[in-house]
Amino acid sequence: MEGPKHATEINYEQVAEILKSNSSSNVIIDVRRPDEYEAGHIPTAHNIPVTEIKVAFELDNDSFKNKYGFDKPEKNGAEKNIVLYCMMGMRCRKSAAEIESLGYTENVLVYGNGWSEYSKKI
């Protein structure tokens, strides 16, 4: 699968700003395996593994919330960005491409350096 065509790459400083703003205008999704997520993750991040992200974003809003515990982000919703990250960038870029194929083209941010960088800076 090709990488995302529309997602915007962000860096550690931008992730730190997102966290500092404590805003509900961003949802952070960790696309690593559940065991990796449990071992440590970015604060406020939700876990949807790369292997199920496309199916997750195909769910209706109620089913999504019941399964993952938060509201499904709106497609191209200007009021909420979707921040995807993994360990080093491969899985989050694949996830971004997967949800782009469902029409999420304007509000997807990719933190490519992911947990490998973030965990060293905290």
pLDDT of residue 1: 57
Backbone φ/ψ region at 72: left (φ over 0), alpha (ψ -120 to 50), beta: beta
6-38 pLDDT tens trace: 999 999 999 999 999 987 889 999 999 999 999
pLDDT of residue 80: 86
90-112 pLDDT tens trace: 999 999 999 999 999 999 999 99
What's the rounded Cα separation, in Å, for the pair 16 and 109? 14
| Higher pLDDT, residue 27 or 76 | 27
Q: What is the residue-wise DSSP string for 47-114?
A: E--GGGHHHHHHS-HHHHHHHHSSPPPPTT-TT-EEEEE-SSSHHHHHHHHHHHTTT--SSEEEETTH
Collapsed DSSP state (helix, strand, coil) of residue 6 = coil
Domain boundaries in the chain? 8-119
58-75 pLDDT tens trace: 999 999 999 999 999 988
- Report the predicted TM-score, pTM, of the whole model to 2 decimal places: 0.95
The CATH architecture of the domain made up of 8-119 is 3-Layer(aba) Sandwich (3.40)
